[in-house]
């Protein structure tokens, strides 16, 4: 097991370097940092521009430029943002924390509900309830998040305050305006609507996933064997069915968590939630290369990390997998 993990990590590091290099080239081509610098500093002297280029390795050679960037990145000597010359790390750290909070909560809620619905559908496979779940899941996937969010804002904030004098769940933000400091309840209230919007999509996917996974298991030979031994249906479901059906689900869920941090862009944008998505959109709009690169590193690293976790859990849960 340990050797397997070590091997996987040994794989992940060159992958991370390769992918960040590709991202580096794509960003340099698409949003030339020199142009962005000139936009922010229209009166910069040629000397100053040359210094900026040299300092940040923005010459014609992308490999040299990348290595230069990498050296600054790992020594934690990050260049300041182009617009406003702000420090990158504090902003990125806050955005990451906010997104992780929202993403993990939404994924947790979504997966738990999705699995429950999936089990329910599988147990009633083919029946009317199954069809209802199926249809509901498809509708859930088909409604764009920016429509569902507006409807939720209207219902729980606008109409609720008209009917009851106060909003149940606020439209946007992390805290009420003017609030300073930490308050878990207020924070949860503000996260409620974004969580629902994200969770709808996750529920839709996982309910269908769990359903098909559980059906596969329920119809497998060993389940038939278990049944023929006279073990109660409930016991079969819990002892054998669920355990085996969950193996692939857990694997996929781990991968999903890795992608959730960067996958909240639309939701964060609508709810004015200061997370990674909003951070990226702002940086992208300004062509702010020094802000975008660390963001990309975090996203790619988290994807690789959770892929690794998925592999390990899969291997750990399913003894049939050979670790080679």
Partner 1 sequence: MHGWIRGFVLSKTEIEMISPRRMALKRFVGHKAAVASCIVLGLFILAVSLSPLTARYGVNQAVRKPPNSFLHPQKLAWMGTDDIGRDIYSRLIYGIRVSLLIGFFSAIIAVAIGCVVGAIAGFRGGQFDDIMMRVTDLFLAFPFLVALLVVRNMLGALSFLSPLIGDKGSIRFIIFLLALFGWMTVARIVRGQVLSLKEREFIESARAVGASRKYIIMRHLLPNSIGPIMVSLTFSVVAAIIGEATLSFFGYGPQAGAGTTSLGLLVGQAKGAVQTGFWWIAVFPCVSLVIISLCINFIGDALRDATDPRLDMGH
Partner 2 sequence: MRKTTRGVRYAVALIALSLVAAACSSDSSSDTVPTDTVAPVPEVSYPTNLADCANVTYDYTTPASTSAGMTVTYDIAPEAVWEDGTPITAADFSATWSASLNTPGSITTTGYDQITSVEAGTSDKQVVATFKSVYAPYKTLFFPLVKAAALSNTSDASADFADFLGYSARPYKMKSWSPSQVVYVPNDNYWGTDKALTKKVVMVPKADSDTEIASIKAGEVDFIYPQYYGGITEAVAQDDITSKVTFGGDYEAFYFNQKCGPFADPIFRAAFSMSIDREALFQQIYIPISDQASLLECGPIVPGPYCAGDEFTGSFDATGAETLLTDNGWAKGSDGYWAKGGEAAPAVRWTINTGNTRRENTQAYLIPLLQAAGFNVAADNCDAACYFQQRLPALDYDMAMYISTAPPDPGYLTNAFVCDQIPTAANGNIGQNSQGWCNAEASDLLHAADAETDTTVRADNIKQVLRLMAADHVLLPLFQFPKSGFWRTDKVGGPVDGELNNYTAFRNFDQWTDVDGDGQIVIGAEQWPACLNPITECANSSWMVWTSAFVVSPGVWATTNDGGYALTNLVTGEPVVTVL
- Minimum CB distance to partner 1 smaller for 187 or for 323: 323
Sketch the per residue contact string, 172 through 211, with partner 2: x for CB under 8 A, - otherwise: xxxxxxx-x-------------------------------
Using the rule CB under 8 A, is 30 a contact of partner 2? no
Angle at 156 between CA 152 and CA 162, to 5 degrees: 130
- Pick one of partner 2, partner 1, none as the site partner of residue 127 (Cβ within 5 to 8 A by kind): partner 1
35 binds, among partner 2, partner 1, none (CB under 5 to 8 A by kind): partner 2
Alpha helices in the chain (DSSP H): 2-30, 33-40, 46-55, 62-74, 88-123, 128-142, 145-153, 160-164, 184-218, 221-228, 233-235, 243-260, 265-270, 276-286, 289-317
Q: At its nearest, how many Å lie between partner 2 and the CB of residue 193?
A: 11
CB of 82 to partner 2, least distance (A): 9
* Cα–Cα distance, 258 to 207 (Å, whole number): 20
Contacts 24+ apart (CB under 8 A), 309-312: 309/254, 309/258, 310/250, 310/251, 310/252, 310/254, 310/255, 311/8, 311/251, 312/1, 312/4, 312/5, 312/8
The residue (of 15 and 167) whose beta carbon lies closer to partner 2 is 167
Buried b / exposed e over 239-261, threshold 16 CB at 10 Å, is ebbbebbbbbbbbbbbebbbebb
**Residue 91 touches which of partner 1, partner 2, none (CB < 5 to 8 A by kind)?**
partner 2
User: Least distance to partner 1 from the beta carbon of 229, Å?
Assistant: 22
Taking CA atoms, 46 is separated from 25, 34, 49, 53, in Å, by: 24, 12, 5, 10
Judged by beta carbon distances under 5 to 8 A according to partner kind, the member of partner 1, partner 2, none in contact with residue 174 is partner 2
Binding marks (x or -) toward partner 2, 75..104, rule CB under 8 A? -----xx-xxxxx---x--xx---------
CB of 113 to partner 2, least distance (A): 26
Segment interacting with partner 2 (CB under 8 A) among 15-23, 53-61, 100-108, 146-154:
146-154
- Measuring CA to CA, how many Å separate 95 from each of 204, 270, 301, 305? 27, 16, 16, 19
Residue nearer to partner 1 on the CB measure, 85 or 225: 225
Chain positions contacting partner 2, by CB under 8 A: 35, 39-45, 48, 80-81, 83-87, 91, 94-95, 150, 153-154, 157-158, 160-162, 166-167, 170-178, 180, 269-272, 274, 278-279, 282, 285-287
């Amino acid at each position: 097991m340990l050797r397997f993990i070590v091997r996987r990590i040994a794989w992940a590091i060159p992958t991370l370097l390769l992918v960040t290099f590709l991202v580096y080239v794509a960003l340099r081509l698409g949003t030339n940092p020199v142009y962005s610098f000139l936009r922010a500093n229209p009166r910069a002297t040629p000397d100053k521009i040359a210094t900026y280029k040299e300092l940040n390795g923005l010459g014609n050679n992308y490999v040299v430029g990348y290595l230069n960037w990498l050296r600054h990145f790992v020594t934690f000597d990050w260049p300041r943002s182009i617009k406003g010359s702000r420090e990158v790390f504090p902003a990125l750290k806050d955005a990451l924390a906010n997104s992780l909070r929202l993403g993990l909560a939404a994924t947790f809620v979504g997966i738990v509900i999705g699995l429950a619905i999936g089990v329910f559908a599988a147990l009633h496979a083919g029946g009317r309830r199954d069809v209802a779940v199926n249809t509901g899941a498809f509708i859930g996937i088909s409604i764009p998040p920016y429509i569902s969010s507006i409807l939720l804002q209207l219902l729980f904030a606008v109409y609720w305050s008209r009917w009851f004098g106060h909003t149940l769940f606020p439209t946007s933000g992390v805290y009420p305006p003017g609030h300073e400091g930490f308050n878990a309840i207020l924070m949860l209230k503000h996260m409620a609507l974004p969580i629902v919007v994200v969770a709808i999509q996750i529920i839709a996917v996982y309910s269908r996933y769990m359903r098909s996974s559980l059906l596969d298991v329920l119809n497998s030979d060993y389940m038939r064997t278990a049944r023929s031994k006279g073990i109660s249906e409930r016991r079969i479901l819990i002892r054998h069915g669920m355990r085996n059906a969950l193996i692939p689900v857990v694997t996929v869920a781990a991968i999903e968590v890795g992608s959730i941090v960067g996958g909240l862009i639309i939701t964060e944008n609508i709810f004015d939630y200061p997370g990674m998505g909003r951070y990226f959109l702002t940086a992208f709009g300004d062509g702010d290369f020094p802000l975008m690169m660390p963001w990309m590193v975090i996203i790619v690293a988290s994807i690789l990390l959770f892929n690794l976790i998925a592999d390990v859990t899969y291997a750990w849960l399913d003894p049939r997998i050979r670790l080679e």
